[in-house]
Amino acid sequence: MPSVADHMSRDLLAVEPSATIGAAAREMAARNVGTVLVVDAGRLIGILTERDVLRAVAAGWDESAAVSTRMTPGPETAESADTTEHAATLMTHGGFRHLPVVDGDEIVGILSIRDLVRVALQDAAPRGA
């Protein structure tokens, strides 16, 4: 079974809880990512996703509001040695599409549902290929 470490992204976007939602959203768009890790003193304290930004917009957002007002605090995490099956189970049962990866207190990556689809389709070829 493949490990999370083999498929996670190590190119992380992280902000402090006082960063503005607008700045975080612009950086997400510029880097074409769907999530921002919220860290305080190097420790993961939350996650802000594209879904959170969408909800902020729908609520008539103030783009100068702090990320901490819209983030999901204490997100579920996986360890890099966990299997992708374990990560997929966490994500499916939790109803989220991004899973921070930690080893101890160190943030080492993020795994997305897209990463897991690639694992599932690794040996598949498109129709007609």
Domains in the chain: ranges and CATH: 4-120 (3.10.580.10)
pTM of the predicted model over 0.75: yes
Q: Shortest CA distance to 45 belongs to which of 32, 33, 36?
A: 36
Calculate Rg over the CA atoms of the chain. 15
Order of strands across the sheet with 14-15?
Answer: 14-15, 35-40, 43-49, 72-73
Q: Which residues contact 18 (CB under 8 A, 6 or more apart)?
A: 66, 67, 68
Q: Given this model, what pLDDT does residue 128 score?
A: 60
**What is the rounded average pLDDT for all residues in the chain?**
92
Q: What is the pLDDT of residue 120?
A: 83
> Model confidence at 61, in pLDDT bands (50, 70, 90)?
confident
Q: Is 43 exposed, middle or buried (0-12, 13-18, 19+ CB in 10 A)?
A: exposed
